[in-house]
Structure 1
Amino acid sequence: MLPWKRVLRPLTAVLLTAACIALPTASAHAATTASAASASTTSSGWNDWSCKPSTTHPRPVVLVHGTLGNSVDNWLALAPYLTSRGYCVFSLDYGQLSGVPVFYGLGPIDKSAAQLQTFVDQVLAATGAAKVDIVGHSQGGMMPRYYLKFLGGAAKVNALVGLAPDNHGTDLDGLTNLLPYFPGASDLISAATPGLADQIVGSAFLTKLNAGGDTVPGVHYTVIATKYDEVATPYTSQYLTGSDVHNVLLQNLCALDFSEHVAIALLDRIAFHEVANALDPAHAKATTCASVFS
């Protein structure tokens, strides 16, 4: 039998590696990609602080990246998709750990929600809008619920659209069930990457977030999930319960959609079409396999 310390090290590595599946670009190129893309976002209308919402789309859209993502790489496809349709689109970085560039969403999630609160206020002040719509991926689809529930966000947000959000935590395909058998593993993850620890099923953060109901009045909720998700598992745990909730499974819209946790936000135009429907339900069009061309 191996000593527990020798077992703990590979187990922790496995857990962190599984979480890293949510990384939207290869680490060797991420810094260069982010720098180059940041330079072009304003000219394309994304993160253009002079943008004023139209009467057709009166609310700016705030994009919230996932764990190990950032404000650029997560949205290289969806942000232009929305700006080309006339939306003012903004994205932020949150959850930075000291000394860790490019890869965000690792800090305590309640602190990340406070960063979102500040960013939304900046967007409202710049655009003159009364409310925003939020679209988030993975942690970015779940974390805003803390802002809505505990930080006054419900008065400033019309809709929250989550792409593969881990609303009730993840068991990483059962890997987290092994943690109790390895003393110190949970403490190590909590100390090194609190944003990951907060997303494990049964965490204190998630218990607080989901106590008393999943939703708050006045906000429209949409969850867009894929049955091929390998990170926010089981995928059905992403769904919300409430009077104003629309839970969507991509494969019910297009059986040929094989997107998993990363692809749903990075390049899935079927998911993007459903995002557009959620942002403008009055003009929604049926999402099908053909929506990839729209």
Structure 2
Amino acid sequence: MLPFKRALRPLAALLLAAALAVAPAATVHAAGAPSRGWNDYGCKPSAAHPRPVVLVHGTFGNSVDNWLSLAPYLKDRGYCVFSLDYGQLPGVPLFHGLGPIDQSAEQLSAFVDQVLAATGAAKADLVGHSQGGMMPRYYLRFLGGAAKVNALVGIAPDNHGTTLSGLTHLLPYFPGASDLLKSATPGLADQITGSAFLTKLNAGGDTVPGVHYTVIATQYDEVATPWRSQYLSGPDVRNVLLQDLCAVDLSEHVAIGTIDRVAFHEVANALDPAHATATTCLSVFS
């Protein structure tokens, strides 16, 4: 048995290395460190922007590093902005989103309640990157979140799972590899196309009534693959391809959620559709 387990380690390492290679690099900002003005629990939503925005990081992300650009972008536009850490594993600092996703959704539920209580708002808007754009759908469907959320904006969300550019197709050739991945990093295993978690999440439809959904995808995504699987079906859904807005935008999975101003402009449009303006390549200057 020991030699067999050793044989599985290279595959597990390959999957983890592939994910880490495209994860936002951890900076000197530890999770929970000062966040350049957001996570201000004294912030009160304005009449123009009556709902706080909760940012939900992706796998291997955290509440600060994932949002060093988007959080100030939204705050400068008058939003009360908050971000949380979720899916922590014992002994693993900075890199979060690795725990069981249903438990991560419970953490999101508690955080939204905290934000609503502090701001006095009736509902929040959620903006998530990667897993952070998919995981909130569990909260909306199974944990009562639909009554507390107006809109969910997913940036490169793996709504129907991922093949990780085909790497997950190797798992059947290594018996026991899926179980090993599930035990070590359940948050990764839950995101593989066809997982029990995703089967439950998507059974009966992609959306729940009363929530406005936006998906922003890039055709150059190498993580949430195939990229069209990010799209949602159902009422009140807007699926957007970044390259339809700006054909020369080459952002891949990480860049679209962390630095891409064209995507950020589309996020702002989704949060305030009554005052939306056309998103083009020139939106990088807005």
TM-score w.r.t. structure 2 length? 0.97
Partner secondary structure for residue 62 of structure 1: strand
Runs of at least 4 residues off by over 3 Å: 3-7
* SS in structure 2 at match of 1:262: helix
Task: Quote how far apart the aligned CAs of 1:240 are.
Answer: 0.2
User: Which runs of structure 2 are paired with 1:233-248 in the superposition (5 Å)?
Assistant: 233-248=225-240
The reply to whether residue 186 of structure 1 matches residue 178 of structure 2 is yes
The structural deviation recorded for 1:58 is: 0.2
AA partner of residue 78 (structure 1): L
- 1:285 is paired with a residue whose SS is coil
Q: CA deviation at 1:40?
A: 4.6
Map 1:179-258 to 2 at 5 A. 179-258=171-250
Aligned residues: 284
The equivalent of 1:284 in structure 2 is: 276
How far did residue 5 of structure 1 move? 5.0
Does 2:31 correspond to 1:39? Answer: no
Deviation at residue 8 of structure 1 after TM alignment: 2.3
Kindly state the Cα deviation for residue 39 of structure 1 after the two structures are TM-superposed: 2.2
Out of 68, 78, 90, the position equivalent to 1:86 is 78
Counterpart position of 2:112: 120
2:154 alignment partner in structure 1: 162
Q: Which runs of 5+ in 1 are unaligned?
A: none
- The change in CA–CA distance for 1:224 and 1:40 in structure 2 (over 3 A counts) is closer
On the 8 A contact 1:4/1:182 being kept in 2, the answer is no
3-state secondary structure, aligned to 1:34: coil
Mapped pair 1:21 → 2:21: yes
Name the SS for the 2:153 alignment partner: strand
SS of 1:16 mapped into structure 2: helix
Partner secondary structure for residue 39 of structure 1: coil
Tell me how far 1:158 sits from its aligned partner: 0.2
Corresponding residue of 1:266? 258
Question: Matched residues in 2 for 1:19 and 1:39: separation?
Answer: 27
- 3-state DSSP class of the match of 1:217? coil
- Aligned residue number for residue 72 of structure 1: 64
Secondary structure in structure 2 of the residue aligned to 1:129: coil
Aligned-partner SS, 1:33? coil
1:20 deviates by: 1.7
Q: How many angstroms apart in 2 are the aligned matches of 1:240 and 1:232?
A: 14
Where 2:158 maps in the other structure, the secondary structure is: coil
Deviations 1:201-239 (A, max 9, x none): 000000000000000000000000000000000000000
Shift in Å, 1:18? 1.5
Which residue number in structure 2 is paired with residue 133 of structure 1? 125
Q: 1:248 to 1:104 in 2, by over 3 A?
A: same
Gaps of 5+ in 2: none
- Does structure 2 retain, via aligned residues, the 8 Å contact 1:22–1:68? no
CA distance in 2, matches of 1:11, 1:100: 21
CA contact (8 A) 2:106 2:143 kept: yes
User: Which amino acid in 2 is paired with 1:260?
Assistant: E
Q: Contact 1:60–1:88 (CA<8 Å) still a contact in 2?
A: yes
Letter in structure 2 aligned against 1:20: L
**Paired residues of 1:75 and 1:266 also in contact (CA < 8 A):** yes
Q: Deviations over 1:227-267 (max 9, x none)?
A: 00000000000000011100000000001100000001110
